[in-house]
A and B are shown apart, each in its own frame.
Chain A
């Protein structure tokens, strides 16, 4: 109990009997108890309404008579999602079969604000409207995929696509040994 009622002084001269003065204070402890009980209950049993979502629209399934859209090498940029939260990237196209195209230079970065985001922003300034190919490898985490799609939103990329990593790109990662 948080309150101790002070006993009214009795005795003395047997004068007029005064009405006992009650203190106007209410013991609020049970109310606090109840409030915190409810609070804990709500904190433990509920979730915040409506989680956020990210839209992902995949291209319509390819039919045989539609050819792959050609991407200009000058616009293309590939981001490969590797293991241990690494993001490999290179500019241009990687076609080992075609000897006329020089092999792209592989670079590596991470998903922090100073990592891939700066690369994307710099690229955007140098070459407006890049086409970005996002290729998650087998070792990539789903979190990386969401992160990179998120970067696309943050840096306002117009054209990007989520594609499967081809063998040539995986070889390139191995060769670069980054």
Chain B
């Protein structure tokens, strides 16, 4: 009697569902996300139940990190460049065209204007090294550059896009309140009273018994 050979099946897997799933996820990520701009500081925002969305453009972002530093950023490139020139003119600092172009690509920064030029001259990779050492935009009463940045960015945005700007405060959960309040206070002195606090999403609790 001949030996009964077991029927050999080829060890192939049907990968179609896996491909389906993978591409589904790819599509999902492509549609719901946008490219993260490389910011000079990483903050972990607290969460809230607010369902309002940050507007797409005309946003001035003031980032407060946990080391009491304040970073300034505007979204539109032209606004940024124009604001740079105006603030530079006010403090007597001139920027070359190349520096202005670099600045336009920068998502945010936290430097006094006098140090901004040398920072812009650096190569992109070198900049990452010094990002941790950025001192933040000065905002004390003697040397209040933050207000100038905000006002000039607003004016530039108004001139270019004819739209008002939103001011978003992006604070780290561990940032201290005095710094945030200081930011709010210096802006309030210029009659800017409406702020957006950037938060993560959190589900609305149902336990709110009444």
Partner of A146, one of B34, B48, B181: B48
Chain B: interface secondary structure?
mixed
Chain A: interface secondary structure?
mixed
The reply to whether A145 and B177 contact each other, CB–CB distance below 8 Å, is: yes
Interface size class of A (residues with CB under 8 A): 35 or more
Q: Complex: how many Å from CA A6 to CA B189?
A: 81
Q: Which residue of B lies closest to A164 (CB)?
A: B181
Interface size class of B (residues with CB under 8 A): 35 or more
Q: Complex: how many Å from CA A54 to CA B189?
A: 21
Q: Which residue of A lies closest to B168 (CB)?
A: A53
Q: Complex: how many Å from CA A11 to CA B29?
A: 54
- Please provide the chain A residues from 138 to 177 with a CB less than 8 Å away from any CB of chain B in the complex: 138-147, 149-150, 153-155, 164
Q: Which of A31, A56, A143 has the most CB of B within 10 A?
A: A143
The reply to whether B209 and A121 contact each other, CB–CB distance below 8 Å, is: yes
- Please provide the chain A residues from 20 to 72 with a CB less than 8 Å away from any CB of chain B in the complex: 25, 28-29, 31-32, 35-36, 38-39, 42-43, 45-61
Q: Complex: how many Å from CA A81 to CA B50?
A: 21
Q: Is A86 an interface residue (CB 8 A)?
A: no
Q: Is B205 an interface residue (CB 8 A)?
A: yes
The reply to whether A142 and B175 contact each other, CB–CB distance below 8 Å, is: yes
Which A residues are closer than 8 A to B by beta carbons?
Answer: 2-4, 6, 25, 28-29, 31-32, 35-36, 38-39, 42-43, 45-61, 81, 113, 117, 121, 124-125, 136-147, 149-150, 153-155, 164
Could you give 27 example pairs across A and B, Cβ below 8 Å?
A35-B26, A36-B22, A38-B26, A42-B30, A45-B36, A46-B34, A49-B34, A51-B54, A52-B51, A52-B200, A53-B50, A54-B50, A55-B197, A56-B197, A58-B194, A60-B191, A61-B188, A61-B193, A125-B210, A137-B177, A138-B177, A142-B64, A142-B171, A142-B176, A146-B171, A150-B50, A150-B202
